[in-house]
A = this chain, B = another copy of it.
Amino acid sequence: MTGFAATGPHVLRRMNAAAVLGALREAPGGTGRVADLMGATGLSRPAVTRALNLLAEAAIVDFTEDTAARVGRPAVRARFRAERGHVAGIDVGPHKVLVMLADLAGTVRAQRRVSVPRGLDGGSLADLLRTALIEAAGAAGVVPEELWAVGVGTPGVVDRERGEVVLAPSIPGWAGTSLLAELRAWLGCPVHIDNDVNLAVVAERWRGETSENLLFVQWGERIGSGIVIDGKPYRGAHSASGELGFLDLVTPIDAEAPHVADGLGSFERLVGAGAILRLAVERCGEELRRALTAGGDLAPLFAAAEAGDAAASGVVETIAARFARGLAAQLLVLDPGLVVVGGGVSRAGEPLFEAVRGHLRRMLLVPVELRVSALREEGVALGAVRMALDGAERRLSASLLS
């Protein structure tokens, strides 16, 4: 008799509510008239109205007058109450933690970025993460315990099913710790985790390039890539695809290549943000060197190169040639047609990428289009927000259907 009861009018009404909510979330501005929702769901006017009332009871929907209607009685517009709940997306990197707080429509309400001192242990990293989350939540007017879901992006290899970091050579004390369990216990909401580059790809497809086939390269202190094939992320047999950062283009071919699982990968040590900074400090003039050493940021280097500084331009050219060598290795294997570069170094500007394109042309058999991500270094946190939203939506649907 359970099957009978499960398809009774009560359950059907809740399924309709979930469908109407889905249509409302997808609608421009998260609002719609009953007629719009009938069209989007295929439900009758009474069914849509009943669903909206159920959603209004749950405080997920409210109503406004439709000011666009000029003739007769003003129509009522239903509105998805995106402010009803919040999610957090957290980018945990070797040098920084970035926390984004967003409402249920995915609009970012606050964000907080903190530097991670070198050599921090797991416990201190946990403290730092908690503080950043409390501050970002505060700025958005909520407390962390009210979050509906949290997404975390991290370098390394992640077991998404079990929600654990399996391997993260670049962040000591992160893999295998109880940090995620503690976060879950504290927040009392689901905490999802995924590889940072995978999340940058998710963000790219949500808010940036929507192409069904692309290679996304995250270029910061670390370098990794995400592969999208026919609109789906390709992750590999152990969720460990795209590890461009470990490509070794430096060890002479007949010398023994060093073991990989040891901090930054060979390609990261060659052209990662830290390597670029070191090269610039080594080669550039006194003034620029001071600016680079003080800020630890690459912006002055790229600005100087654009302004015609010869040493800075030389560094940019060297980096472009090196990066193109590694990227070419991946492009020869994948022929993706489109490459999108995100991450901190993507802020470098066109001169760097125009030089990369020039080198690639010589190294490839077929052309590739190279674009710079509009999301820059916020992609990972934004992708973590998207992952948290997916979690929140599943919770919402489940609560409507239970």
Give the number of residues in A that approach B within 8 Å (Cβ atoms). 53
Q: Is A337 an interface residue (CB 8 A)?
A: yes
Rounded to whole angstroms, the CA-CA distance of A366 and B270 in the bound complex is: 22
Partner of A362, one of B236, B260, B332: B260
The interface residues of chain B lying within 8 Å CB-to-CB of A253 are 249-250, 270, 322, 325
Q: Is A393 an interface residue (CB 8 A)?
A: no
Rounded to whole angstroms, the CA-CA distance of A96 and B325 in the bound complex is: 32
On whether A236 and B337 interact (CB within 8 A), knowing A325-B253, A362-B257, A365-B261, the answer reads: yes
Rounded to whole angstroms, the CA-CA distance of A256 and B227 in the bound complex is: 28
Interface window among A9-17, A109-117, A240-248: A240-248
On whether A335 and B238 interact (CB within 8 A), knowing A249-B253, A322-B253, the answer reads: yes
The interface residues of chain B lying within 8 Å CB-to-CB of A334 are 236, 241, 333
Contact B248 A363 (CB under 8 A): yes
Rounded to whole angstroms, the CA-CA distance of A368 and B236 in the bound complex is: 11
Q: Is A359 an interface residue (CB 8 A)?
A: yes
Nearest chain B residue, comparing its CB with the CB of A215: B333
15 A-B pairs in the complex with CB atoms less than 8 angstroms apart: A235-B335, A238-B366, A238-B367, A239-B335, A240-B335, A247-B329, A249-B253, A250-B253, A254-B318, A254-B321, A257-B325, A258-B362, A260-B362, A261-B365, A333-B334
